Amino acid sequence: METTPKELHIHTNTTPSGEELDQEFIQRIHSNLANSHSKTNANNSSSPTETEASIMTRGMMKILRCITHNPLSKFIFRLPTLADACQCQSQTSNTFVLFLITNILEHPKMTFGGLVASAIVLDLIFILPGYLLAMLITEWGVYFCIGTFVLMMGRFVLRMIAFPGATPRLKGEVEMEFQKYSVRMLENAVEAIGELALLIVSKENDALLNGNGNENGNGVKAERMLGKTYGRYDVIPLWKKVWQYRDRVLGMYHDVLHCLLVQGGEGNRSSESGDNGLTKFGNNRMEGDIGKLLDVSERAKLDGKEIVAALKKVLDDLERLESSAGDYLNSSMNTIDAKTVTPDGIRAAQRLFVSVTELGDCLLSLADSSTGGGRNSGEDDGDDASQESEINGRRKPVLTQGLDSVKAAINGILETIDPPPLHTIFGLDALRGSMLSRYRGAKQIWIPRPKSQGGGHIDAIHLPSSGVSRKASNRDSIEKAVMFCNPNAGLVEVAMGFSLISGNVADPTSLEFTCWADYYLHHGYDVILFNYTGYGRSHAGSRKTKADLARGIHIFRRMFSSTFFGFKPSPASLKADATATASHIIEKLRVDKFLIHGESIGGMAASGAANVISNRKYVDSNSLPVTYPTLLICDRTFCNLNATAFRLVGSWTQHVIPLITPLWNTNVAGDFTSARCRKVVAQDAQDVIIHDASSLKKGISTAKEFTKGETKGLGTFGDAPLTYRMADLENVGVQESTYAKFPAKIQLQAPVWPADKHIDLPEAFHFAACARRIGKVATKIRKQKLLKSTEKFEDEEEGIEITAVFSRDTDQQTPASNQNEDVDIILQVWDTLGLCDGLTGLPLGAAVKDGYDSTMDWLSGMVTLGSQRVVLAAEKRCKSSQSKHISFENVTVEDQDFEVSFAPILESSGTPPFPLPYVSQALQAVVESCDAISDDNPIKIVQNELEYCIKMFQYIQERISSKQSVINALQVAHFKDTFDDFSTGRFLNLQCGHNNQYSNKERSELTAILTEAIESESSLA
């Protein structure tokens, strides 16, 4: 076979190595030098100008030779450059920064051209429009337009961070995960059914097993596929497994996809539904608007129809197998030996194997697309091409890589503004249908939004505790119902997860409490879930149709309208949606006892709705006044959005957020305290998302103690007074600063009970400064000791170590506390002080670590919400020693009632926190022994600060233990307050994190609260 010249050129064009390039370079230099010498000798008789040029050339060559042979020059030339480093690391690293640096160094001309092109693009996008705009308006008008553009971009970014559930990106991630899960479950079902069919055929037909009498050798194939891992008795458990897959996977997906593709997404309970409202597969008969598949591509719909047909065939073959071999499959271990499969059963198994194989073939395309996302396959193609080029040993041209990167970035921006059609049938509509199939009586409902908020409808789901769908004509009231407000990244479609084995269709008592819906259904509550407007299908204005989502030129119209005129979620819209949903539940569904539960940002929606609903006038069936909601639960939420951003992002957000969103009202603490209903605030002090100082718990306690009920601007107290900051900088006592004298007019006395009913801000700042001063001195002493002992010391911030070396049991003191060195006293003092329990989740040392405002929050939380835990423990003790029925006036607080925390609070400390009375007594003993301690002891340096802390602790203990405080705390904890004044609500201390489920202990405590608040006979009129 002859080879074309082009092919010959390709085969011979090999890339030379580095050594070959060097040898070729040296040979060319020698040849050039030889030619120059020969020309010089041949032209010796030339003109004087040429002779001088040759002499100069030889001189330059000598100079260059001296430079190149110099050892220093050789060392410098051999130093690796940045390009060499990038070239070496390019084999193991694939970061964008390395890719950028490498291409800049390797292609300077292209880099320069790219910079010029970027400058031109920048001029065309920003400079030229501004110049043209300046011809129409003044210079200040241009500045105004630029400022407006920056403001809109800032609001856009803030909305993406605050309301990620409304972004197409999160929706796409949910759809991708659900597709992967669905394909995996269907593949598992296909595998189990195929194994059952082969097992029946191979074990009951010897000829087929041995391959005799079968020209196609199916018996050999069956034996090879089974691998002889199954025995005759494995048919029974395998059949039970297949039957579960039939009902929970195949039957459910068939019903959902048939409803979406054949019935147009309109669920009903009339056809193929028994008296119990279940399908023949034991799933709930879907009711309501399941979905119109508006954002699903036509190709995905065709694939879905093929899957429905394949599922229908497999289900029919399974039913045929049961009818012909049911006696054999449903037999027990004792009777299976006496039974055989009839020829009809074997043929049914063979047919089942063929149909389930066809279903597996339909899933292959879905499995391929599920590995890369459901909406756009362009990125997958790019990844496949890059992988193929790497395998073939060829690198894509730099220009191609750059264009691919720009294309991917542009596609990402366009997909964020206007998502492309979904390339899989397993989207949010299918996910919604699968969720409705798992819960008895579940129904989708549309709730109208108020016209003042732009109209539209809210997509909601009603899960009845009775398992019976509620008819629109039913005027009977629901006994108990709960409205759950989702977190900011939550969608109602994923509120119960993806698991197909969850729900209560199989057994109403089999709920495992994997979500809040299961928990409330188990306790007899109807559950109403809804999507905020902008989330999922909830919308403002008219609902979108297929024509609105058309591709082509309509994309630009849709992008423009959605960017400038489309609905965008805001705190006001979330509160309005929750209020509209709560009003619909109370007025349309008619509920006797109504609970609102909001988690994370859902607490803002829940508290806003409760504040509005609780101030309305309602009457019950007997025309008696009744207040809704019966109970409000704000679960791990914040006091306001600015405080959360201040702690999570940075202090600069407290100036930026009010600037770009001046009309946003995120004052959760204000709505919570103003709601005239029973309420619970549940918080985890170690929440990694919502900092303890920005939590609703701290907002309530701070407003109650320091700001006389004012809740605006909570979350930070600002900078500490200059006196304390300068003293801390000079490393002197809190009142001993040289540059910032302590004002003489400020009283330094700690508050005294009962003369002082509250702690003032100056007193709280002084306490925070004293605690920080003690911790700073103790940490410095500990560092010096560890350096002397040549041990490694982590240079952390001063005043934050909480290492427990001081034991409460004098017989079990650690070695450090048994040492007689005077310097150990200050260490013991700080270790005791730092582990003082704040009764709301954190010890004092952890608060000191976070700064002055966290220490002040620790102080206010102890005297407001923390006191509830103490008095409840005292009440429990009094009831156990006296009688079950005891009045609030007869409850007395003792020192042992302060021991409400037994588990270690900090992960770094294995010691439980110390109760307040113990800390106060231990520190008082140290102060009393100071007279016998030498003046050079470090404890003398902080004696004044230590005495102030002791007095503050004594004030807190006396205040919490006083009769009036006990009565007030018990009234709030037992929902007996009148809500006319500032109402803090019941406090529930958590240790489960931000996104995790409650522990068994926390869930039991919540159940007791619900029983007391909801099911008690007393009601608030």
pLDDT in tens, 980-1017: 678 889 999 998 888 888 988 999 999 999 999 987 64
Give how far Cα 394 sits from Cα of 108, 382, 389, 858, 900, Å: 22, 15, 5, 62, 67
Q: Quick one: pLDDT band at residue 43, thresholds 50, 70, 90?
A: very low
Please tell me the number of Cα atoms within 13 Å of 879 on its side-chain side. 11
Q: Give residue 564's pLDDT.
A: 67
Backbone angles phi, psi at 630, to 5 degrees: -70, -35
Please tell me the number of Cα atoms within 13 Å of 243 on its side-chain side. 15
Q: Give residue 178's pLDDT.
A: 92
Closest by CA position to 303, among listed 267, 352, 253, 266? 253
Give residue-wise pLDDT tens across range 114-134. 788 888 888 887 788 777 777
What is the Cα–Cα distance from 947 to 931, expressed in whole angstroms? Answer: 14
- Range with top average pLDDT, 142-156, 307-321, 891-905: 307-321
Give residue-wise pLDDT tens across range 753-779. 999 999 999 899 999 999 999 999 998
Burial of 63 (0-12, 13-18, 19+ CB in 10 A): exposed
What is the Cα–Cα distance from 973 to 565, expressed in whole angstroms? Answer: 47
Q: Quick one: pLDDT band at residue 236, thresholds 50, 70, 90?
A: confident
| 867-880: average pLDDT | 91
Say if residue 296's pLDDT is above 80.
Answer: yes
Q: Tell me the β-bridge partners of 443.
A: 462
- Is beta strand 631-635 parallel, antiparallel or unpaired with respect to 678-684? parallel
Helix axis angle for 139-162 and 128-136, nearest 10°, is 130
The DSSP code sequence of 974-998 is TT---SSS----EEEEE-S-SSSPP
What is the Cα–Cα distance from 688 to 578, expressed in whole angstroms? Answer: 26
Say if residue 191's pLDDT is above 60.
Answer: yes
Q: Give residue 929's pLDDT.
A: 84
Q: Give residue 825's pLDDT.
A: 87
Q: Give residue 698's pLDDT.
A: 92
> Which residues contact residue 503 at a Cβ distance below 8 angstroms, ignoring those fewer than 6 apart?
284, 437, 438, 439, 496, 511
Q: Quick one: pLDDT band at residue 439, thresholds 50, 70, 90?
A: very high
Q: Give residue 142's pLDDT.
A: 75
Say if residue 806's pLDDT is above 70.
Answer: no
What is the Cα–Cα distance from 373 to 386, expressed in whole angstroms? Answer: 18
Say if residue 157's pLDDT is above 50.
Answer: yes
Between residues 330 and 386, the one the model is more confident about: 330
What is the Cα–Cα distance from 285 to 712, expressed in whole angstroms? Answer: 48
Q: Quick one: pLDDT band at residue 329, thresholds 50, 70, 90?
A: confident
Strands across the sheet containing 678-684: 443-448, 457-463, 526-530, 478-485, 591-599, 631-635, 678-684, 986-990
Closest by CA position to 595, among listed 523, 698, 507, 525? 525
Q: Give residue 702's pLDDT.
A: 92
* Cα 260 from chain centre: 31
The DSSP code sequence of 343-384 is HHHHHHHHHHHHHHHHHHHHHHHHHHHHTT-SS--HHHHHHH
Which of helix, strand or coil describes residue 775?
helix
Q: Quick one: pLDDT band at residue 367, thresholds 50, 70, 90?
A: low
What is the Cα–Cα distance from 434 to 596, expressed in whole angstroms? Answer: 25
8 Å CB contact between 303 and 366: yes
Q: Which residue has the tokens 């007594």?
A: 921
Which of helix, strand or coil describes residue 446?
strand
Look up residue 686 and give its two tokens.
Answer: 């170690």
Look up residue 282 and give its two tokens.
Answer: 């034991």
Say if residue 410's pLDDT is above 70.
Answer: no
Q: What is the mean pLDDT of the chain?
A: 79
Closest by CA position to 171, among listed 499, 529, 422? 422
Look up residue 324 and give its two tokens.
Answer: 């012909």
Q: Give residue 551's pLDDT.
A: 64
Task: Dihedral sign for Cα 192, 198, 201, 202, please.
Answer: negative
Task: Dihedral sign for Cα 148, 149, 151, 152, please.
Answer: positive
Q: Give residue 797's pLDDT.
A: 46
Give residue-wise pLDDT tens across range 48-95. 444 555 666 676 666 766 766 666 666 665 555 555 555 554 444 445
Q: Which residue has the tokens 């608040």?
A: 1013
Say if residue 393's pLDDT is above 50.
Answer: no
Q: Which long-range contacts (CB under 8 A, 24 or more apart) does 406-413 make?
A: 407/378, 408/378, 408/379, 408/382, 411/376, 411/378, 411/379
H helices present in 835-985, as ranges: 844-850, 852-863, 866-881, 916-928, 943-961, 963-973
Closest by CA position to 202, among listed 174, 229, 173, 242? 229
Ranking 358-362, 596-600, 816-820 by mean pLDDT, the lowest is 816-820
Q: Which residue has the tokens 């609105």?
A: 548
Which of helix, strand or coil describes residue 664?
coil
What is the Cα–Cα distance from 90 to 94, expressed in whole angstroms? Answer: 7
H helices present in 428-515, as ranges: 428-438
Look up residue 141 and give its two tokens.
Answer: 């008008």
What is the Cα–Cα distance from 748 to 770, expressed in whole angstroms? Answer: 12
> Could you tell me what percent of the chain has a pLDDT over 70?
72
Q: What is the pTM of this model?
A: 0.80
Q: Give residue 486's pLDDT.
A: 93
